[in-house]
Amino acid sequence: MEDAGLNRLPALLREELRHSETLLACLQAEQALLTGMQLEDLPEQAARKQQALDDLQQATTRRLAALEAAGFDTLEAVEKRFRMPKALQAQIRQLRHNIEQAQALNNQNGLLIQRGMAVNQQLLYILGGQPDDRQAPPHYAPASQPAPSSSSLLGEA
């Protein structure tokens, strides 16, 4: 690569690759929490994942700006014009792979969340019966039995 505007490309790709690896680690940790039903730690992990995603987006924006400044709109256009060093080609392949893997993990995590929500809905149905806007859900005693109504507590008059 001879273009002076592209001299920053290797450093920008390394940064982007590092952030994509951080995002993958966050998604894997999120998946472990979801499968282990450790839901109390989920909000903190979601915040870490969001930060990793923000960092990756900012790094991608910087790379795209550098490409645009050099007169290119994509990495593919640069690859067609210049013979890239093998190390740079490997970084580009790894970055693409990481992005695909992150999308797949995010989709899997979404399915885990949906499954958890469905299980919770089933449990609510079991405990409370079919929801009816006109009727309050039954109250349960500590032994998970329906609480006696107030009239049976007072006895027959």
Give the tens place of pLDDT for each residue, 95-116: 999 999 999 999 999 998 888 8
Is 153 part of a structural domain of the chain? no
In this structure, what token pair is assigned to residue 106?
């995010």
What pLDDT was estimated at residue 87?
Answer: 87
What pLDDT was estimated at residue 3?
Answer: 61
Taking residue 50's Cβ as centre, other Cβ atoms within 10 Å add up to 12
Is 127 part of a structural domain of the chain? yes
Is 139 part of a structural domain of the chain? no
Q: What is the mean pLDDT of residues 10-31?
A: 95
Long-range Cβ contacts of 103-106 (<8 Å, 24+ apart): 105/24, 105/27, 105/28, 105/31, 106/27
Where residue 57 sits, what CATH number does that domain have? 1.20.58
Is 13 part of a structural domain of the chain? yes
Q: What is the largest CA-CA distance in the chain?
A: 98
Q: Provide the number of structural domains found in the chain.
A: 1
Taking residue 118's Cβ as centre, other Cβ atoms within 10 Å add up to 10
Is 143 part of a structural domain of the chain? no
List the domain range (segments joined by +) for residue 8. Answer: 4-132
State pLDDT tens for residues 68-104: 888 888 888 888 888 888 888 899 999 999 999 999 9
**pTM across the whole model:** 0.71
Alpha-helical runs (H) found in the chain = 9-35, 42-69, 75-81, 86-128, 150-154
Confidence of residue 22 (pLDDT cuts 50, 70, 90): very high
State pLDDT tens for residues 28-58: 999 999 998 888 888 999 999 999 999 999 9
What pLDDT was estimated at residue 154?
Answer: 42
Is 102 part of a structural domain of the chain? yes
Is 147 part of a structural domain of the chain? no
Is 152 part of a structural domain of the chain? no
